Amino acid sequence: MKDLIDKLENERTLSHTEFKRLLSCEDDYLHERARETGKRFFGNKIFLRGLIEFTNYCKNNCYYCGIRYANKNAERYRLTKEQIMQCCETGYSLGFRTFVLQGGEDGYYTDDILCDIVAKIRAKYPDCAITLSIGEREYESYKRLFDAGADRYLLRHETANDAHYKTLHPDKMSSENRKKCLWDLKKIGYQVGCGFMVGLLGQTLEHIAEDLLFIKELDPEMVGVGPFIPHSSTPVSKEKLGDLHLTLNILAILRLMNPNLLIPSTTALGTIDNDGRELGILVGANVVMPNLSPVGVRKKYFLYDNKICTGEEAAECISCMKRRMENIGYNIVVAKGDYVD
């Protein structure tokens, strides 16, 4: 494997077949190399993003997602502008300098309403980054939100393979449109994050190798990869959890592909293994995203079963996260944490 890892570090990509070989790597050497690269570029710094899950209404019906439209068991909620501003205020005082506004595709939040919220956050927190993660929209809508002050956008591509995408989403959704959105966002000037779940129904190493090649082509600033976790009220409730070791291999490969990349160690990783977020950091991830949503709504943003961190106040979440990072020799920093090329 050493020669493949050297090649990946030097050339920042591999062939489809080589990616597949590296994805199957069983030993810890890949993880160690990725950890060293992460340390070389970021030291022991971990960036913090405050996640504000502001709506769980969604018009989409992705087969794997707990807040899909057809899940009639989901108790729906929306945060008001005032509640969102309150989350930012709490977050700012706790040291957050990035706010991530995430939600389902909720028609209530028109461009006018969202631009107003973004502009208010931008005016009050000029030293903070505003990240949106609100799904597929038109170019003009992305542009208006960017002009209102949003600077980053997270939109996982979910799977780069069109046929695989079609097996996981209703007909009217397409991988082509999702990728087009990512290219639009890049063109407008957002720092962009794509990504995918590991272990989704029908996923093979061939698909993951395609994902890695798509990531190489898009050249995003952030990539979010976490395990798939079934949700009991979805059509894929009986499927298996995503594999921890494979998820760690992918995070390590991403770190070696782009040493500057912003890579979160996800809540889903912390859900399938109590030490999952630490393990993610130890293979090169450099971002954690504690929850800033009001405790009263946390359990309602239920994307998958057994989701962690749904009961604590933001202050408790951040001190738990600080402790966890310090235990493995890393420190959370008060910084915006922009991508640096």
Q: Is there binding between residue 179 and ligand SAM (CB under 6 A)? A: no
If binding is defined by CB under 6 A, does position 49 make contact with ligand SAM? Answer: no
Q: Is 9 in the site for ligand FES (CB under 6 A)?
A: no
Among 55, 71, 90, 133, binds ligand SAM (CB under 6 A): 133
Spatial neighbors of 316 by CB under 8 A, at least 6 apart, are none
* Distance spanning both ends of the chain, measured CA to CA: 28
Residue from 38, 104, 280, 290 touching ligand SAM (CB under 6 A): that is: 104
Residue 165 binds which of ligand SAM, ligand FES, none (CB < 5-8 A, kind-dependent):
none
**Residue-wise over 315-332: b if at least 16 C-beta within 10 A, else e?**
eebbeebbebbeeeebeb
- Residue 68's binding partner among ligand SAM, ligand FES, none (Cβ under 5 to 8 angstroms by kind) is ligand FES
Per CB under 6 A, does 137 bind ligand FES?
no
Q: Is 174 a residue that touches ligand FES (CB under 6 A)? A: no
Distance CA 306, CA 13 (A): 36
Q: Is 104 in the site for ligand FES (CB under 6 A)?
A: yes
Our finding on whether 67 is near ligand FES (CB under 6 A) is yes
Distance of alpha carbon 197 from the chain centroid: 10
132 lies in the site for ligand SAM, by CB under 6 A: no
Binding window for ligand FES (CB under 6 A); candidates: 10-18, 62-70, 78-86, 285-293: 62-70
Q: Would you tell me how many other CB atoms lie within 10 Å of the CB of residue 339? A: 15
Q: Which residue from 304, 314, 322, 325 is in contact with ligand SAM, where contact means CB under 6 A?
A: 304
Binding residue (CB under 6 A) for ligand SAM from 94, 253, 268, 314: 268
Give dist(CA 10, CA 78) in Å, integer.
47
Extract long-range pairs of 40-46: CB within 8 Å, 24+ residues apart. Answer: 40/259, 41/259, 41/260, 42/286, 44/329, 44/330, 44/331, 45/286, 45/330, 45/331, 45/333, 45/335, 46/281, 46/286, 46/287, 46/288, 46/325, 46/330, 46/331, 46/332, 46/333
Interacting residue ranges for ligand FES, rule: CB under 6 A: 58, 60, 62, 65, 67-68, 104-105
Interacting residue ranges for ligand SAM, rule: CB under 6 A: 64-65, 102, 104-105, 133-135, 155-156, 158, 197, 226, 228-229, 231, 268, 303-304
